Structure 1
Amino acid sequence: MSANLKYDTESLWRKDRDHFIHPWTDFSTFKEEGSMVMSNSEGAYVIDSDGNRYIDGIGGLWCVNIGYANEEMAEAIAEQIRQIPYFSPFGHQTTPPAAELAAKLARLTPGSLDHVFFGTGGSMSNDTAIRIIHYYFNRLGKTSKKKIISRTDGYHGSTYLAMSMTGVEFDHQGFDLAPDLVHHIPAPNPYRRPDGMSVEVFCDEKVADLENKILELGPENVACFIAEPIMGAGGVIVPPPGYHRRTREVCDRYEVIYISDEVVTGFGRLGQFFASEAVFDFVPDIITSAKGISSGYVPLSATILSKEIYDVISVPQA
């Protein structure tokens, strides 16, 4: 829309209150206060329907990595829409952008992560990872490996399974999620390191939490461990040095798949396309990503699998 278009803020508030269900709504104030109406944007700024200008420091929901109203992106999207806006990838069908992007992601990701399943958001990316992992172990004949280990204060999405993996306690209140499937261990939060405990001993303790949980549940029952390189919604928690590399070693020891949730940290947030290896010195089995992959301009996610996983799930069924 034109930057000069005038909006009736009161009318928009009324329509929003009457019809739009927002994620994470505070119903104690929403019906009286309504919503801020953001109607325009430029670079790092968003502009409300009354013309007030704000710096969006977080970049949407950690997603607008290239800034708002990027002309190059707008032109690229418009040109693609003129060519072919959508075609189903089901079966043996593809489009040039899908094939090119899958190949580029395979080049950018570490280790043998070279196969990509596209979706529409971070929640779907994490749900897809679990679905593939369960299928992977079923194909190996290890059908009891189903349980998922996540961390308190971790955030992995808002769909049923992704929210079950999320460890933010408030998000679980009032919902019957999946307590038998998903199990949480304490986050490596440096602010909860006891006085007098060294960083090294604290890291030892947090790594042991994962191994102890695997042993408690039984390695034959544990499918995967999911972790954000830096925990976002849980408080921007940076783990102690070596934490991810060592938890990866624990997963290898018990044949547990390591999912690195890079929905927030991917595509430049930590100075690299992906943070797992480049920043934290470990290579996961699966990287999940979204947000910055399109800077939030179109719904897009990518679940990126190792060759080892793909080689198992791609064998034709008898």
Structure 2
Amino acid sequence: MSRSCCGGREELNGFALSAEGNDAEIIRRGVEFVGRNPSGCAVLLDFDGTLAHVVDHPDDAAALPESVEAIVRLIPLVGRVALVSGRPVADLRSRIEVDGLLYSGLYGLEHAIGAGEIGVDPKAAAWIPEVAMVTEAAIEWAASADAELDGIVIEGKGLSVTLHYRMTADHALAHEVVADWARGEAARTGMRVIFGKLNVELVPPIDSDKGSAADELIAGMDSCLYIGDDCGDLPAFDAIRRWGRDSLVLAVQSSELPADVGEKADAIIGGPQGVARLLGQVAESLD
């Protein structure tokens, strides 16, 4: 059984856990791929589920130290290294701040380099008051929800709002109810709905996603290594394939890996630990 990216049931997917031997081959392939032209290679990384384990509460997420160390080493060795995430840039920098690291936050609505000024899509900025009202409505709705929906967490991000239901007792029921509420708000406000791992997000109706973010980040590069784990990464997968240059697209294994993501990736690597080993060995090979 599998979970798709269209908002279906949350279930264990059918992909086998990546064995150590399989990871070894993927890592060998990744080292070889980046090593062919390191100065022309963009390394684009998701955060949650890729550099950090998925956790019950979004505030508790932390990048694996080994991945952070590898990123620091990689920045001067490859064309560019970027985080591509649904989190705001300020949130990402509070978890991993590295000189020279590129940040693309909120599905490309925000961007920054290192500790530099955060740029915001002006079209999205106009939606800040509406998003604030939807965030307040979500908080009020969650507070008044039935007891079986206890555990819903509302994450206001300024330019979007995410409803997490990971800590509810019945994920299938919570998904149905949360998705219905989000669709209703989308119909009322014009915002878009994005489905993630045990969460539903409302974002402004701007033509921006991880695909458009990837388009900007790979411009001028000769190759791209992209690593992600969720439905929001699929537009980036597609953008990189449309680009038509050398690419290696990896999905990150977990019990919640959406079937669509695993099927569209070139390979599936064994969790954030596997990602850390890959990044570390790429850096080691280039030092």
TM-score, scaled relative to structure 2: 0.33
TM-score, scaled relative to structure 1: 0.31
Q: Which has the higher contact order (CA 8 A, sep 6+)?
A: 2
Higher helix share: 2
